[in-house]
Amino acid sequence: MEAIESDEVDDIAFPALPAGAVSLDWVENRLIGSADLLGSYVAVTAAETIASLRGMWLKTAQEQGFVDFDAAALKESAPRQLTQLVSRALYEASITGAPAFNGLEFRSRHGDDLLLWALFEHPDDGTVSPQLTNINDEILRPEHPDLLTVMSLYGLFWMDA
């Protein structure tokens, strides 16, 4: 860090916040929402799914530097090529309709208690996926309890820019 040369003009135009600080203007123009999810989703890191895909993807995983094609490889943050290739193949399979599914379900690399979904988008879907119903959104505020929970988990705090 000491080797970084700072330009005084940049320091004024783009002041850096201390580590862990989040500028209050970050929440501007952001929404938080909820919806009900319809459809069927491939649990991509489930044992049965990994077992069925392993034969097709083991060589690719090893070429990417992974020891095996497993949940750990699919959760790794880099390289992303393996997860991108697998998700693309599953998307293409979903278009043919055999088997019919609407996206992927997976556990976050930030914790297995965080269940995530990736919805496959199709050209005729419109601006909102037909898999989402009962959509509710609201303006995100700095004091939103879920946002404050995440900030606490990661040691973040609000600061005026």
**134 — phi, psi (to 5°)?**
50, 50
Does this model's pTM top 0.85? no
Please count the CA atoms within 13 angstroms of the CA of 106 that sit on its side-chain side.
21
Spatial neighbors of 83 by CB under 8 A, at least 6 apart, are 74, 76
Q: What tens digit of pLDDT does each residue of 79-124 get?
A: 889 999 999 999 988 877 666 789 999 998 888 898 999 999 888 8
Question: Amino acid identity, residue 147?
Answer: L
132 CB-near residues (< 8 Å, 6+ apart): 35, 36, 37, 38, 119
Predicted pLDDT at 51: 96
At residue 118, the pLDDT reads 93
CA atoms within 13 A on the CB side of 42: 23
Divide the 161 residues of the chain into consecutive groups of 10 and give the mean pLDDT of each group: 72 80 91 94 94 95 94 89 92 77 90 91 87 94 94 92 65
